[in-house]
Amino acid sequence: MLGLFVLVIIAGALPRLRNRERVRRETRDLAIPFVTIVRPDRSAPAQDIVLPGNVEAFANAPIFARANGYLRKWHVDIGAHVSKDQLLAEIDVPELTQQLQQARSTLAASEAQLRVAEATAKRYTELRQTHAVSQQEVDTAVGALQTNQGTVAANQASVRQLEQQVAFAQVRAPFAGIITARNVDVGDLINAGSSTAAGTALFQIAQPNKLRVYTSVPERSATAVTPGMAATLSLAAFPDRRVAGTVVRSANAIDPTTRTLLVEIEVPNPTKTLFSGTFAEVRLAIPTTQGVFTVPVEALLFRNEGLQVATVVGDRAVMKSIVPLRDFGDRIEVGSGLTGDELVILNPPDSIANGSPVRVAPPSMPILSKR
């Protein structure tokens, strides 16, 4: 009877023990997450970066007056094509004209005195041969001649200076170009000015047959931008057109405020259809270094150790620290830390650690995020 009772107990306990072991095994299996994997993609030989740029004329200068007076006449207006040294405006300079006349009269008087001094010195030198005059008188006549020669030279310099100032009454173009601004009208009081005095420019002239485009390249790409590199511009005025340009120079120094490199791009504009002062999107093809890969941003883990990705080796997770280069939105460029042969886990759980057991999910198996 006792044996029968033991058999009944054993028969009832065995299924429970089997169920408990099955539940324990299933629980252990469920604790190992299924993961999806991807391989790192090797970066393209060149990556395009798009930067804002400012379009400027190859030569662009304000034209200031070098003489004070009233504007008598202007000869060109905005949009006018002018040649080098073409007359743009005339200024009345009566004070300078009077000073020039006075200087010329002073010069004429000094030249007359010089002629008298020359005749006197010559005569005294001849008389000295006959001992009709003393050497002291000859020396005095020669000294008076030299003094008058110096006076004439000084007066001639004054006349040339005033003539040059009067010539400034005619405002001329410094180079061939297009007048982009006229800031004066007939009768305006003109003051001799410079770029340090606001509002004194008479005209603005630009040379648009060639354009300069300035853009700032981020520091991480600065060393890859070199003279001769091709650039492509997109302009709002020509949405379906791409304008070709060439990098001609850079500042060769990083701006400590913006951490960017100023780059100049030259764009031919023989038809003058492109306007200076416009905004442009500059596209540069930056060469990538060897051994650079990209991974999806869903694979990144931000840890105290730095940026990491989880990879699968066998049935275990292996954490790898990476150094990011550029962020493309859905992918990130990795400068070091990967060889390209890794199986990188997408959407790794936050609890994953080095050596954690993982199972690679079949391609058809949906995986829920375990974050």
- Backbone angles phi and psi of 136, in degrees to 5: -60, -40
Helix (DSSP H) and strand (DSSP E) numbers for the chain:
4, 22
Find out whether 286 and 229 touch, Cβ atoms under 8 Å: no
Distance between CA atoms of residues 190 and 353, nearest Å: 78
Q: Against a cut of 0.95, is the pTM above it?
A: no
Highest mean pLDDT among 5-9, 34-38, 121-125, 261-265: 261-265
Work out the pLDDT band at 205, boundaries 50, 70, 90: very high
Sequence-separated (6 or more) residues with CB below 8 Å from residue 244: 230, 231, 232, 233, 267
Contact 184, 202 (CB under 8 A): yes
Which of the two residues, 363 and 102, has the higher pLDDT score? 102
Predicted confidence at residue 369, as pLDDT, reads 44
Residue 328: per-residue pLDDT: 76
pLDDT tens for 216-228 read 999 888 888 889 9
Q: 27 pLDDT exceeds 70? A: no
pLDDT score for 137: 82
Q: Which residue has the tokens 């199972």?
A: 359
Question: For residues 365 and 33, is the Cβ–Cβ distance under 8 A?
Answer: no
Structure tokens at 330: 């859905």
**Pairing status of strand 201-218 against strand 177-182:** antiparallel
Segment 18-32 shows an average pLDDT of 57
Q: Which residues of 199-218 are buried (b: 16+ CB within 10 A; e: fewer)?
A: ebbbbbbbbbbebbbbbbbe
The pLDDT > 70 percentage for the chain reads: 85
**Mean pLDDT rounded to a whole number for the chain:** 83
Phi, then psi, of 221 in degrees rounded to 5: -110, 5
Q: What is the pLDDT of residues 71-127, one digit of tens each?
A: 999 999 998 999 999 999 999 988 888 888 999 999 999 888 888 888 888 887 877
Contact present, 88 and 203 (Cβ < 8 Å): yes
Structure tokens that stand for 149 in this block: 């020669």
Q: What are residue 233's DSSP bridge partners? A: 243, 282
